[in-house]
Amino acid sequence: MLTNKEKRLRFVICIDKGSEELITPRRIYEVLPDEDAERSQYLRIIDDEGEDYLYPAKYFITVEFTPEISRAIQEAA
């Protein structure tokens, strides 16, 4: 059975970094919930320095993993 936290985990893959320095193409990032940002077409991402920051949603594609893979990705961070 999935916990509430596991149900909320959301991941994206960076497909374009634009001029940003703290995200890397082809890397998987965790998305933090932020409805206001998403309405403005931004995502709150935990970047390469481990900080959450807003990035344009067009830089990412959403990916869905099994709960086991999602848990392993989060534990590896």
Total structural domains within the chain: 1
Please state the pTM of the whole predicted model.
0.82
Torsion sign (Cα): 28, 17, 36, 38: negative
Find the domain containing 28 and state its range.
4-76
Per-residue pLDDT of 30-70, as tens digits, reads 999 999 999 999 999 999 999 999 999 999 999 999 989 98
Q: Is the pLDDT of residue 2 over 50?
A: no
The CATH number covering residue 18 comes to 2.30.30.40
List pLDDT tens digits, range 4-19: 554 578 999 999 999 9
What's the CA gap between 74 and 6, in Å, rounded? Answer: 10
